[in-house]
Structure 1
Amino acid sequence: MHASRPSWRTTPLSAALALALAGAALAGLPAHAAPATAATATAPAAVLPGDDFFNYVNGDWVRNTQIPADRSSWGSFASLSDSTNKRIIGLVEGLETQQNPSAEARQISDFYRSYMDETAIEAKGWAPLKPLLKKIDGIHDQASLARALGASLRADVDPLNSTNFFTENLFGLWVAQDLNDTTRNVAYLLQGGLGMPDRAYYLDNSARMQQLRGEYQKHIATLFKLAGYSDAQGRAARVFALEQKIAASHASREDSADVAKGNNVWRAQDFASKAPGLDWAAFFEGAGLSEQKDFIVWHPSAMAGSAALASKVPLATWKDFLAFHTINHFSTTLPRAAADQHFAFYGRALSGTPQQSARSKRALAATNDALSDAVGKLYVERYFSPESKARVQDMVSKLVAAFSRRIDKLDWMAPATKAQAQEKLKTLYVGVAYPDHWASYAGLQVVRGDALGNAQRAEQFHYQQQLAKLGQPVDRTEWAMPAQLVNAVNLPLQNALNFPAAILQPPFFDPNASDAANYGGIGATIGHEISHSFDDQGAQFDAQGKWRDWWTPADLAHFQAASKQLVAQFSAYKPFPDLAVNGQLTLSENLADLAGLSAAYDAFTLSQQGKPAQPGADREFFTGYGISWRNKAREAAERQQILTNGHAPAQYRAATVRNLDAWYPAFDVKQGQRLYLAPEQRVRVW
């Protein structure tokens, strides 16, 4: 999901819920409105497509649409996610009256109803959290601190996901195929320990960041006060100071996306010398990783920096750090004052969202997070047809064929490199709509009326599922996202793609729409994900998902030169006077947009062979693409995206059309118009 890809599991917990609700893995539509299609789109007469293609396609929608009060942004992805979630809420609430429900149906219903029961949550107060806080209070030496830090580890990060290599726990765990040995899964350890989205929020001295740091310290103090701790202000100041020190050793977002910098193999015995200060034996014991002989440490500087702080920072401060993050993480299942405070900071202050979403939406997001495949199965059985799956699979085959042809025609790529690229296409696993095998939740205990306990047990259940993979063969067909998520993803280690059922709806895919509209919408999305196998990151992995260099030096030089052109093109976009798009940070996604759109146009052309010519089809194709990026965001949210997200703002992604020759005659784009590029200036990679 390189396309704007939030993972289903991120931290803090409420962030996972917000992302699950937003569903913007690649990127909505007005609330209660039918999805727009190329045929219904209208363009303001004063805007020329060659000056501002996004506004030409979406200007009327932008002017006539208000971002819902419980959202930081709104567009094609968010709107489709919202309508999908309303359907699922109906299904989940209907389970309450179902006769003889299955075990999974009972789990879904009990989890959802427990989260919805605010009266019971208020009546219990803070009592359900007290055992966790009591354990933290019992930390008395360096060994018990290390065990507690290890016990807080969650499998909630992914270094190859441009938005999801961060966790609020001191470190993050990812279990996946070894970069260097494709036959086995290995444990990856990543940086973490921050309650704000990125190190920039702690280290950047702009007025905006200084203001957010003040708001964050107030948030920490408020949660301590609500939980009954004395000296809430002092504790908050010390926790923030510790996080600021942790942030100082963190790698940048750009470095985090560099596989060469992340592929650091450490033996278990290496940690004591390479990252002294933390009792690593106790840490691994607490994390259930004592039997692991080796790890891949993605962020060595953060590992060493945080470990050193374990012995330098007073034990009392570490206990406050763990207590705060425990309260913060589970605040959405605590009394309303805690949940409201969590939204006040993460929703209102950080993202500019004025209103918290309805309890039912948050309950569904939590249920999705805990029982994703079980909920996905419900959704698919009711709302996804076999005919739609077959049609999308046919589109996939045409997209793969189009990409294969593009590779064959490249005049800059050596035959040996082409052969390796074609092998990746031949062995590519493409999952459409839902996984081949649904996950089982037979071992997960869901107790009606125990909202916090259910969330805690679900996390541990998922964590143990991930640990169990460490001794098992690699499964290349394993899905990374649930069927009910509006998103798509490329999994470079598995050489696999996932296109969940929920994204296979208008405006991306419409069984009743023209080929032109569908290829411009879901076709470009499919092409986007295929092309991630060959972008600046995907090209580092071979057909088996092994990290190795399969390019000739000349091929790589050409690719990097073309990539620099795209970096420069996007770095020139400046949505705010003081903030430009980071062309390097967004390079992978921008490459995938360009290559995916090009391949989709080829596949559309291929699909029309032997059919009568359709006047205006090219315009409909590109308009369909522009509609797929329909989006508007609050300033705070867009600023956060530019600083921390590997995806450029939607209006600039829509402008990728300026690099395709076919766009110019389709819209009569002339020299002198703002998006016009001379043929030799158009970026051509694949």
Structure 2
Amino acid sequence: MRKVLIGGLCASLIAGLTACNDKTAEVNAPETAKTATAAAVTKALGSGIEFENFDKSVRPQDDFYKYVNGAWLKKSEIPADRTSIGAFYDLREKSRDDVKAIIEEVAATPNLVEGTDEQKVADLYRSFMDTATLNKLGVTPLKGEFDAINALKDKNELVKYFAHSQIMGAGTPMAFYIDIDAKNSSRYATHLYQYGLSLPEKDYYFNKSERFVNIRKAYLAHIEKMFTLAGLANPKASAESILALETAIAAKHWDVVETRDSTKTYNLYQVKDLPSLAPDIDWTGYLTVLGADKQTDIIVNQPSYIQGLNEVLKTTDLATWKTYMQWQVLTHAASNLSEEFDNENFAFFSKTLNGQEEQEPRWKRGVAAVNGVLGEVVGKVYVKRHFAPEAKERMQALVENLRGAYGDSIKDLTWMSETTKQAAAEKLAKFNPKIGYPNKWEDYSKLTIKADDLIGNAVRAGQVEHAKSLAKLGAPIDKDEWHMTPQTVNAYYNPTMNEIVFPAAILQPPFFNMAADDAVNYGGIGAVIGHEMGHGFDDQGAKFDGEGNMRDWWTAKDLEEFSARGKALIAQYDGYYVFDDLHVNGSLTLGENIGDLSGVTIAYRAYKKSLNGKEAPVIDGLTGDQRFFIGFTQIWRAKAKEEALRNRVATDPHSPAEFRALGALSNMPEFYTTYDVKPGDAMYIAPEKRVKIW
């Protein structure tokens, strides 16, 4: 398990088949792609606006999101095998189709040499797609783990098994990971993080409303069914004891707002002092199994949780813990077992929790498995086929234009002192942009993949990933490492590296359109760039300096004013209702909302600066400013199942899509001018109440 302190636009190795590794190579687009892109650029650029999605019955001053996307919202239906659709999701489907073509081409190649990347891609995909073998095996691949759990003699052995369980990719009440030290960005450090729940968040165990009560009943029935399928003892009683233990663990968890606080979650302990925090946990045995017993310190993200876990460990009998660990192994492996386990796992976690009516076609999940384990192998080919050098060059120019606009905006801030402005400008100058794909590719040479051993593939991937992570301790910081593959439709900011990262797959319409005028690109990918830069200056990112160290570089007065503006944004988003009984959590989403507001604000400034004082052309009857705001709003086009949306509001630090558009634009004076927004219009906020941060 690895927690990365990154802000992005939008785990377990047994469950998700995720791993990465390390290799140097050059990747260039083929000449055909270069030629085709160059030809497109020489044509007259279009507006890039998707007019067919507009709902002209909606006044833009009242709901710009529905004005731009309303027709699409009315006509679009969510397929039975999905919980969400929209600009992000459609592009992810395209990326998956593109990767499928690569994988199937490799899989169709005869006589692949054992140990090559191509053999690993082909056999990993085959191992996932071979349901006949999986059905024949049933739960047999987990028998060794069940036997090991049953053989545990005491709680010291149990704690050692927690460590073993994590390495193999199953669940555990506490998660160990290695990441850059937030207060010393020149070194990697070990960390502990709260873990161990199967439901999405602690409130799911305690909320007494009918929906949550029904979820807990369904969860009990699901555990009982899975234990029955696995032939494990006392399914009904086991389900009850598992839920009771998870509830006890959940009671000790920090909530979702607390866990995103970088200050509260940085607690450096000497390893020798861990027994004073949790005396009943065998720390020496735990860290020895993990291979980290030589470390002298460790960062504990939630110390009170570890104290609470100690209490739960002490007061819960060993038999109950064994049953719980059997469940952790079984549930994390379920999607890689026979179809009866896979289907039951889907029925609860996807259908009951998220409203997904049907399983995705198996090939889609097979592609996800390959992306998770061997992502940069297929990523190299993906880049050659789908990412032209011209796109990277144009993105690099956009990034630098945004950086310049951000610098100008910092200089012009009226609420910030010169001292803090200088520190902010220094951090901005040190942003490291990564675009498209890594300079150094992952090395998968130590990973063994077999065509008839899906669970084994997942476990070995976990072991290789853990070994790779351990090797970082004492080593220089790997500045070339990426935390997303090139075919990922997303982007992120990493504060301890002070880097903004944009994978190739997001650099496509509607976010980035090589055939469109600059206005829609600044509104789309420009706002995405600005969003990621904005994470460097959101309520958490602003705690880190240009070197990636968490330290206070603010004057006390400026920090007080910054916090006050953040509180105003929290109040604004708390006022947005997703359903009659559910509003956005402004505190949970604050960082992303700052990213959205600063992103579109700075992107607009960069767009105007790019015109060099000239008037933007009118294209398709729209001014440049209109195209900019439409370009921003059409990237948030999305529709989701109610169950999925409710889960996201409870757990996701991003606001629902419509409020990402409405919330940011309602604070921009330029939007008011462009669309003549006045008092009485639904999007109107009085000037003195509008939030401007950056």
TM-score, with structure 1 as normaliser: 0.93
Q: Paired residue for 2:554? A: 551
1:627-646 CA distances to partner (integer Å, 9 max, x unpaired)?
11000111111111111111
CA contact (8 A) 2:12 2:332 kept: no
**Seq. identity, %:** 38
Matched, 1:492 2:526: no
- One-letter amino acid of the counterpart of residue 298, structure 2: F
Q: What is the match of residue 682 of structure 1?
A: 690
Match of 1:662 in 2: 670
8 Å contact kept, 2:173–2:194? yes
Offset at 1:439? 0.9
Shift of 1:475: 2.4
Post-superposition offset of 1:682: 1.5
Which residue of 344, 349, 354 maps to 2:347?
344
1:123 is aligned to 2:136: yes
Aligned counterpart for 1:647 among listed residues 636, 654, 657: 654
Give the letter aligned to residue 374 of structure 1. Answer: V
Rate the CA distance shift 1:555–1:15 in 2: closer, same or farther, 3 A: farther
Aligned counterpart in structure 2 of residue 423 of structure 1, from 423, 426, 440: 426
CA contact (8 A) 1:149 1:286 kept: no
The alignment status of 1:73 with 2:84, answered yes or no, reads yes
1:25 corresponds to which residue?
A: none
| AA aligned opposite 1:209 | F
Distance 1:378 1:543 in 2: 34
Taking the TM superposition and a 5 Å limit, the aligned residue runs for 1:618-633 are 618-633=625-640
Q: Provide the rounded CA distance (Å) in 1 between the counterparts of 2:543 and 2:513.
A: 35
Alpha-carbon distance change, 652 to 155 in structure 1, aligned in 2, over 3 angstroms: farther
Note the alpha carbon deviations across 1:332-378, whole angstroms, 9 max, x for none.
11110000111111100111111111100111111111112112112
User: Do the aligned partners of 1:155 and 1:172 also contact (CA within 8 Å) in 2?
Assistant: no
The question of whether the paired residues in 1 share the 8 Å contact of 2:527 and 2:600 is answered with: yes
Cross-structure match for 1:503? 506
What is the number of equivalent residue pairs in this alignment? 656
Distance in 2 between the 1:568 and 1:303 partners?
Answer: 32
Task: Give the corresponding residue for 2:25.
Answer: none
Q: Secondary structure at the match of 1:471?
A: coil
Query: In structure 2, do the counterparts of structure 1 residues 388 and 420 end up closer, same or farther at CA, with 3 Å as the change threshold?
Result: same
Q: Which position in structure 1 is the counterpart of 2:44?
A: none
1:150 is aligned to: 163
The code of the aligned residue for 2:344 comes to Q
1:26 — aligned with what? none
Out of 7, 23, 28, the residue aligned to residue 2 of structure 1 is 7
In the aligned structure 2, how far is the partner of 1:582 from the partner of 1:553? 27
What is the alpha-carbon distance in structure 2 between the residues aligned to residue 335 and residue 43 of structure 1?
Answer: 45
RCO greater where, 1 or 2, for CA within 8 Å and sep 6 or more?
Answer: 2
1:13 corresponds in structure 2 to: 15
Q: Distance in 1 between matches of 2:146 and 2:692?
A: 56
Q: Is the 8 A contact 1:155 1:466 kept in 2?
A: no
1:4 shift after superposition: 3.7
Q: Is the 8 A contact 2:18 2:373 kept in 1?
A: no
Select 1:673's aligned residue among 676, 681, 688. 681
Structure-2 separation of matches of 1:659 and 1:313 = 52
Change (3 A) 1:12 1:571: farther
- Of 423-432 and 269-278, deviating more is 269-278
Amino acid at match of 1:661: P
The offset of 1:54, in angstroms, is 1.0
| Aligned-partner Cα distance in 2 for 1:75–1:462 | 33
- Name 1:477's counterpart in structure 2: 480
The correspondence for 2:322, drawn from 316, 319, 323, is: 319
- Taking structure 1 as reference, are residues 46 and 101 closer, same or farther at Cα in structure 2, changes over 3 Å only? same
Shift of 1:422: 1.2
**Secondary structure class of the residue paired with 2:501:** strand
Contact 1:494 1:544 in 2 (8 A): yes
Off by >6 Å, runs of 4+ in structure 1:
none
The superposition leaves residues 387-422 of structure 1 with CA deviations (integer Å, 9 ceiling, x where unpaired) of 111111110010011001111111222222112111
Structure 1 SS opposite 2:440 = coil
Secondary structure of the 2:579 match is coil
- 2:73 maps to 62
Cα shift at 1:216:
1.0
Aligned partner of residue 153 in structure 1, secondary structure: helix
Distance (Å, rounded) in 2 between the aligned partners of 1:662 and 1:612: 15
Q: Deviations over 1:501-560 (max 9, x none)?
A: 010011101110110111111100000000110111110001111111000011111111
Listed as ranges, the matches of 1:436-475 within 5 Å are 436-475=439-478
- Output the amino acid matched with 1:664: Y
**In structure 2, how many angstroms separate the alpha carbons of the residues matched to 1:243 and 1:409?**
51
Q: 1:536-547 alignment to 2 at 5 Å? A: 536-547=539-550
Tell me if 1:395 matches 2:406: no
Match of 1:139 in 2: 152
Stretch moving more, 51-60 or 468-477: 468-477
Gaps of 5+ in 2: 1-5, 20-46
Structure 1 partner of 2:436:
433
Q: 1:56 is paired with a residue of what secondary structure?
A: helix
Q: Distance in 2 between matches of 1:110 and 1:42?
A: 42
Task: State the AA in 2 paired with 1:250.
Answer: H
- In 2, Cα distance between the equivalents of 1:563 and 1:438? 39
**Alpha-carbon distance, 1:424 to partner:** 1.0
Contact 2:373 2:461 in 1 (8 A): yes
The separation in 2 between residues aligned to 1:502 and 1:14, in whole angstroms, is: 20
Correspondence for 2:56 = 45
Mapped to 2, the partners of 1:11 and 1:658 lie a distance apart of 42
Unaligned stretches of 5+ in structure 1? 18-35, 157-166
Q: Secondary structure at the match of 1:262?
A: coil
Displacement of 1:101 in angstroms is 5.3
- Do residues 250 (structure 1) and 253 (structure 2) align? yes
User: Which residue of the partner structure matches residue 104 of structure 1?
Assistant: 117
Structure 2 letter corresponding to 1:306: L
Does the C-alpha gap of structure 1 residues 243 and 39 become closer, same or farther in structure 2, counting only changes over 3 Å? closer
2:104 aligns to what? 93
Secondary structure at the residue paired with 1:62? helix
Answer whether contact 1:429 1:476 (CA < 8 A) is retained.
Answer: no
SS of match in other structure, 1:447: coil
Q: Is the 8 A contact 1:152 1:287 kept in 2?
A: no
Q: Is the 8 A contact 2:205 2:247 kept in 1?
A: yes
Q: Distance in 2 between matches of 1:609 and 1:600?
A: 15
Structure 2: distance between partners of 1:243 and 1:39 = 47
Counterpart for residue 224 of structure 1:
227
Structure 1 counterpart of 2:641: 634
1: CA distance between counterparts of 2:625 and 2:481? 36
Superposition map of 1:293-332 within 5 A: 293-332=296-335
Secondary structure of 1:304's match? helix
Query: How far off is 1:460 after superposition?
Result: 1.5
Residue 198 of structure 1 is matched in structure 2 by 201
Aligned-residue Cα RMSD (Å) equals 1.9
Q: Counterpart amino acid of 1:71?
A: R
1:371 maps to 2:374: yes
1:265 paired residue among 252, 262, 268: 268
AA at the equivalent of 1:619: Q
Counterpart in the other structure of 2:181: 178
Match of 2:533 in 1: 530
Measure, in 2, the Cα distance between the counterparts of 1:168 and 1:458: 16
Query: 1: distance between equivalents of 2:54 and 2:126?
Result: 45
Residues 155 and 63 from structure 1, CA distance in 2 versus in 1: closer, same or farther, beyond 3 angstroms? farther
**Cα contact 1:370–1:459 (8 A) shared by 2:** no
- Structure 1 counterpart of 2:101, one-letter code: G
